[in-house]
A and B are shown apart, each in its own frame.
Chain A
Amino acid sequence: MKNWNRLYHLLSVAIGIFVLCALPKAALAQDRDVIIDVSAEVTSSIELITLQSMELAAEEAENNIINIDPTSSPNAGKMVALGNPNSEIRVSYLQTRELASAENSETLTFNYLVSGNQEEDQNTSELLDLENRDFSFNQDGEFYLWIGGSVDISTASPGNYQGEFTLEIEYI
């Protein structure tokens, strides 16, 4: 019994010392937390697919000028841009480009016109200009474009002419 009492006292003292040693550290511990958010917005790259090339037919010329209305002509080129569904985009293009003759050094100046639509419907597409070039992909991530324009062929020699068309689409 006496031994048990001794052991009990020893244990009490040991626990007391432990608590006394531990408490000041716990009381004075000063941790400061800072939370930093890391973020990124991932957008899928925009892909442009040509669905139909523009057809320039000389027989459609009026007063030596071929006009292709992108909002109605069946000869208009047609493209679809694929990207993030519902994301806003800005469409830009070079309005004037040279078409070079495949046979000689003659060139023709082509003035492009472009219209766009979320739906695959040329007749309701809107003409793009500097004030109207912000659109958005539809819910399937598609945006349709029709390419037309005009060219004066009064001084052009008969033959094939080729040229480039530059269109830029960026997320905004």
Chain B
Amino acid sequence: MIRAYLISIIFFALTGAGYTQEIDFGDYGNYTLTADELNNDDLNFGQVITNSGNHSIDINNAKIVQITGVKYLDVIVEVTAENALFLNGNTGYAGDVQKSLPLTLEAAYANNAGQPSLGQAKIINVATNNFTKQFPILERQSRPPGPPPPPPTNEFDQSRVEETAYLYIYGSINVGDVDAGSYSSQITVTISYD
């Protein structure tokens, strides 16, 4: 009786930790994925004066990353960035208010068919400067999802099922009573198929 009781506890524990089913098609095909910088201009806030407050680079002047891959698939975009720009790029100044400029990142993506425009961009809710966002390379229409992509074979021509999505990275800095000099930091954007 005791034994039966134990087995049932284990059974419920196992079923309680059940998983939703998800098939990540991107994991099972050798599809190529490219990420290119559309504009070579990085996020440069230019010359700013101490105590001048907020300086923004809006979406119209954002850094644009062009993501090209199989249009049926989702990509996961992982953005990793410091919360500030540091004097001479020295991350050792993290927390030093006199040698750092707080950075607030913003991001959006466009995955419409054809050439996406800024007006179609979808804002990503960025709570911190480190965030992850998943979206399909081509926006799904309001109908049931289509069939999975054909598995890559010798006959498979990815260019026939390719589409391009665009990622926009922009944001603002706050310039307080800091030391004069060059401030910099880096944002790493990692893109992979779901």
Cα distance, A34 to B192, chains bound together (Å): 12
Which A residue's beta carbon lies closest to that of B36?
A34
0/1 per residue, A5-39, Cβ < 8 Å to B?
A: 00000000000000000001100111111111111
Q: Cβ of B30: which chain A residues have Cβ within 8 Å of it?
A: 28
Instruction: Say yes or no for A45: interface residue by CB 8 A criterion.
Output: yes
Is B190's CB under 8 angstroms from A31's CB?
yes
Return the contact of B35 from the options A34, A45, A84 (Cβ within 8 A): A34
User: What residues on B are CB-neighbors of A35 within 8 Å?
Assistant: 186-189
> Of the candidates B46, B186, B193, which one forms a contact with A36 in the assembled complex, judged by CB atoms under 8 Å apart?
B186
* Chain B: minimal CB distance from A82 (Å): 12
Which of A24, A38, A171 sits near B103, CB closer than 8 Å?
A: A38
Q: Contact between B189 and A33 (Cβ–Cβ < 8 Å)? A: yes
A43 within 8 Å of B by Cβ? yes
Contact of B55 (CB < 8 Å), options: A33, A40, A171: A40
Tell which of A41, A42, A44 has the most Cβ of chain B within 10 Å.
A42
Contact residues in A for B28 (Cβ distance below 8 Å): 24, 28
Taking the complex as formed, is B71 at the interface, i.e. its CB lies under 8 A from any CB of chain A? no
- Which residues of B have CB within 8 Å of A30? 31-33, 192-193
Q: Is the CB of B37 within 8 A of A43?
A: no
Would you call A32 and B192 a contact (CB within 8 A)? yes
Size of B's binding interface in residues, CB under 8 A: 50
User: Does B173 make an interface contact (CB < 8 A)?
Assistant: yes
- Once the chains bind, are A38 and B27 in contact (CB under 8 Å)? no
Please determine whether A33 and B47 come into contact, CB atoms closer than 8 angstroms. no
Question: Known interface pairs A25-B27, A39-B44, A171-B47. Does A32 touch B184 (Cβ–Cβ under 8 Å)?
Answer: no
Chain A interface residue count: which class?
A: 20 to 34
**Residues 39-66 of chain B: 1 if any A CB is under 8 Å from the residue's CB, otherwise 0?**
0001111111111100100000001010
Residues from chain B with a CB closer than 8 A to the CB of A39 are: 42-45, 85, 182-185
B42 in contact with A42 (CB, 8 Å): no
Are B43 and A37 neighbours in the complex by a CB distance under 8 Å?
yes
Q: Which residues of B contact A42 (CB under 8 A)?
A: 47-50, 101, 175, 178-183
Q: Residues 32-73 of chain A: 1 if any B CB is under 8 Å from the residue's CB, otherwise 0? A: 111111111111110000000000000000000000000000
A142–chain B nearest beta-carbon distance, Å: 14
The smallest C-beta distance from A43 to any residue of chain B, in angstroms, reads 5
Cross-chain pairs A/B with CB under 8 angstroms, 29 sampled = A24-B28, A31-B190, A31-B191, A32-B33, A32-B34, A33-B188, A35-B189, A36-B186, A36-B189, A37-B44, A37-B185, A38-B43, A38-B45, A38-B184, A38-B185, A38-B187, A39-B42, A39-B45, A39-B85, A39-B184, A40-B44, A40-B175, A41-B181, A41-B182, A42-B48, A42-B179, A45-B50, A45-B52, A84-B180
Report which A residues bind B (CB closer than 8 A).
Answer: 24-25, 28-45, 84, 171
